[in-house]
Structure 1
Amino acid sequence: MKTTVLAMLLLASCILAACTRSSPNIQLVQADSLIQKFPDSALHFLQGIQPKGLHLAADRAYYALLLTQVKDKNFIHQTEDSLIRIAVQYYDSTKNTAMQARAHYYLGCIWRNKDDHPEALKEFFKAITYSKRIFDNSLTGHIYNNIAYLYYLQRLNEQADSIYQITEKLAILEKDSILWADALSQRGMINIRKGRECYQKAEEKILHAFNISCNMNQRSMIAKTAYSLSLLYGRMNMGEKAVEFAKLNINNQDNSNALDKAYLVLGDAYYKISQYDSASIYLNKSLHSEDHYTKAGAYMRLADIAKKQGLLEKALEMERKYSSYLDSAQQKQQSAEIVTAEKNILIQRKQSEFKANLDQVYYYIAIGIVIFLTLFLALWKRHKKEVINFKRKEIEINKQTEELLQQKNEQINFLQKEIALHNYSQTEKQILEEELYTLKTERQALLKESYEHSEVYVKMKRIIQSYKKTDKSSEYFDEEDWRQLIAETDIRWNNITIRLATKYPLSQDEIHLCCLYLTDIPTSHFRYIMECSRDAIYKKTKKILEQKMKYTNKSMSLRDILEKLL
Structure 2
Amino acid sequence: MKRVMHILNYFAVLTIMVACSQPTKVEAPEPCRSVEGPTQELAAIDTLMWHQPDSALTVMMEFAGSEAADSLDVFEGHYCQVLIAELLFKNDYGQSNREEVLKAVHYFDSIVNVAEGRNADARDKADARCASLQMDAFLAARAHYINGVGYYERDSLIEACGEYLNALRMMEGHFEEKVLVGHKAWFMTLTYNRLGDLFSAQFMQEPAIYCCKKSLDYDRIAQASPDKIANTLLQLGKQFDKLKEYDSASYYYERILEIHPDNKTLLYRDAVCMLALSDYCAHHDTLASLDSLKSMMLQASNETEMLTRFIAIGGIYHDIGQYDSAKVYLEPVLGKFGKKGKVAARLLRDIAMIEGDTVKANQYAQFLIEDVTSAANSQARVSQLNDMFQQHLQWEQEKTEAERRQAEQLAARRRLVRGVVTAVVVLLVLGLGLWWWMAKRRKEHEAETQTWHEEKQQLQTQVDDALQQLQTVDEALQQLQTQADDALQQARAMLPQRVADLYRAKVPNRLERIMDEFEAAYPQALEKLAAAYPELNETERQIAVLNFLHFRAKEEADLLGLSDNTVNKYRSNLRKKTENASFSSFLD
Name the TM tier (shorter chain). Answer: 0.3 to 0.5
The structure that has the greater radius of gyration is 2
What is the TM-score of this pair, normalised by structure 2? 0.46
